[in-house]
Structure 1
Amino acid sequence: MSARKGFAGLLALMPMIALGLPLESRVPGGIALLPLGKVEVHHQAPRAWLDQQPVWVTRDRGEWIAVVGIALDTPTGPHTLRVSDGADEKSLSFEIQAKHYPEQHVTLKDMSKVRLSPEDETRALAEIARIKEIRQHWRPTPDADGHLTLPADGLFSGRFGNRRIFNGEPRAPHSGADIAIPRGTVVKAAAAGTVLAVDDYFFNGKTIFIDHGNGLITLVCHLDRIDVALGQSVSSGQEIGRSGMSGRASGPHLHWSVYLNGVAVDPALWVRPTKTGSSGKVKTPSTKRL
């Protein structure tokens, strides 16, 4: 067994813990952590924007850091973050590298979820537009709760970014991580926040969005039950629902998405393996710091 394979096997046996900041991976679907200056020099947090969308700026070890979500369809090459300290504005350039995401083939027995009727297509398109509005929501806070924990304990069965093929037909890349758990498993809030939206969508099924502040939003969907209400405050680890297979799902599981500045990013960048703990059920997708 190679050292690399041995290490990968070890990761599969380790539970996950939260990070204060996510891992950096400057690829489509990843996150860029961009230093904006020393706190002792700039006492007020700078403001930052990417493609007109505000970006979360937080303090880390004496520096202001922009935590920038990179959309899955972002082209490789140089990109620009706009930064303002209230008096001056500057542009900060950073590079996006290429990343290959594998195919994932999914078989659905219900073909009506693959080839939509005109009525279902109209509904789905309207819901997609509404979800885009929700994930672009911006609520300024003194700082967001970036210590995300897994919303349920189980194996990652579908990785973020996979190019999904439903019944032989290509569809949009996977915008989250799937956690394989039985129907009725407790689902918890990944961090403290406010319930931004709850609904029953055509594709996502029963869904909860939680706003953690400053453009950090998490989603769980395909739920069997929702136990929170719109506008409700939740604490980290609080039960918010039960898993199921509502919407377009091939079996019981939990879909978990993380959004930054309006775009989906790899949830695996927010958690990492550790040798301590008792769970041992979580298998992490491979991540790389770039």
Structure 2
Amino acid sequence: MRLIPLLIALLLALPAQAEGFITRLLNKPVPGGVAVVDLGPATTAPRATYQGKPLLVIHEDGQRWIAIVGLPLSVRPGSQQIEVDGQRRLSFQVDNRHYAEQRITLKNQQQVTPNPANLKRIEHELAEQTRAYRQFSPRQPSNLLFDRPVDGPLSSPFGLRRFFNGEERNPHSGLDFAAARGTPVRAPAAGRVILLGDYFFNGKTVFVDHGQGLISMFCHLSAIDVKLGDELPRGAVLGKVGATGRATGPHLHWNVSLNDARIDPAIFIGAFKP
């Protein structure tokens, strides 16, 4: 009989709704991270936005809807809000995170301070890539625990404050894998190829839309093995590791973008370190 009060106390101490697998995997609410916001039960998927941009919304464990919010590196720690169905606002908290510095020496000074002709090219390429990042398709992502896109150890982490030849530039917006030239690069989840290019900074590049604003970008490739519009199953080879663009050696640079915010890809492969 003494067990009954103890069991009641334990049940009262449990949260009303235990966190699902996706929440436990992805909820890293820091600048450059992901916030998972509980939207509650509903018969149809709620529509949610953050900073005016549509959010990835899924039905977790068949119990409740959740919004998965990409947080840009520029977001300030503290209270943030999403809007749901244009009628209510839900708050969540963003914690702080420290990012280290990285200093890189480049032989080609044009990749540090480009001339006017190259700046014009860079502006055009940036606009093209920004449009790709802002695409929002209705498809549900096939999986949110991603496969690693390449066999190789992680090298430069996401979010590093980068200095090229002593001059500070944009933080590192992706995750690097050390791999030999020619190593196959595979789609970490199913998706559609929405952009291909050979860019000044990124070199040979592939963008893949996984659904609802979740976009992968793979760059510095030595070869591209897909065409625009291709539907890729999970694990499909999309290119090969190289050192094209602004790169000091062969590696894969992988970006993950969610609601047009570049976020730490390590979250999606279970390798996030606070």
TM-score normalised according to structure 2 size: 0.88
For residues 114-125 of structure 1, the aligned pairs below 5 Å read 114-125=112-123
Number of residue pairs matched? 252
| 1:228-280 Cα shifts (integer Å, max 9, x gaps) | 000000011111111100000011100001110011110010112xxxxxxxx
Alpha-carbon distance change, 227 to 20 in structure 1, aligned in 2, over 3 angstroms: farther
Letter in 2 for 1:69: G
CA distance in 1, matches of 2:269, 2:239: 21
In structure 1, the partner of 2:28 is 25
Q: Which moved more, 1:74-83 or 1:19-28?
A: 19-28
Query: What fraction of aligned residue pairs are identical, expressed as a percent?
Result: 42
| 1:99-122 Cα shifts (integer Å, max 9, x gaps) | 110001111121121111110111
Letter in 2 for 1:287: K
| 1:23-64 Cα shifts (integer Å, max 9, x gaps) | 2111110000111002xxx11011100011000000112111
In structure 2, the partner of 1:199 is 197
Q: Give ranges in structure 1 of 5+ residues lacking alignment.
A: 1-18, 273-283
In structure 2, the partner of 1:68 is 69
In structure 2, the partner of 1:46 is 46
In structure 2, the partner of 1:149 is 147
| 1:129-155 Cα shifts (integer Å, max 9, x gaps) | 221111010001255532311110111
Letter in 2 for 1:33: V
Letter in 2 for 1:64: W
Report if the CA contact (8 A) 1:144-1:214 is conserved: no
TM-score normalised according to structure 1 size: 0.84
CA distance in 2, matches of 1:129, 1:77: 31
CA distance in 2, matches of 1:98, 1:215: 24
Letter in 2 for 1:81: I
- Aligned match of 1:225 in 201, 223, 226? 223
| 1:45-97 Cα shifts (integer Å, max 9, x gaps) | 1110001100000011211110000001112221110001xxx7200111212
RMSD value, Cα: 1.4
For residues 146-185 of structure 1, the aligned pairs below 5 Å read 146-185=144-183
SS at match of 1:132: helix
SS at match of 2:155: strand
Q: Give ranges in structure 2 of 5+ residues lacking alignment.
A: 1-20
Q: Does 1:244 align with 2:242?
A: yes
SS at match of 2:29: coil
CA distance in 1, matches of 2:67, 2:81: 12
Larger relative contact order (CA 8 Å, sep ≥ 6): 1
Alpha-carbon distance change, 143 to 258 in structure 1, aligned in 2, over 3 angstroms: closer
| 1:177-222 Cα shifts (integer Å, max 9, x gaps) | 0101111111101110100101111100000000011111101100
CA distance in 2, matches of 1:188, 1:144: 15
Letter in 1 for 2:117: E
CA distance in 2, matches of 1:212, 1:234: 9
**Off by >6 Å, runs of 4+ in structure 1:** none
SS at match of 1:155: coil
Alpha-carbon distance change, 180 to 143 in structure 1, aligned in 2, over 3 angstroms: closer
CA distance in 2, matches of 1:184, 1:108: 23
Q: If you compute each CA radius of gyration, which structure gives the higher value, 1 or 2?
A: 2
In structure 2, the partner of 1:97 is 95
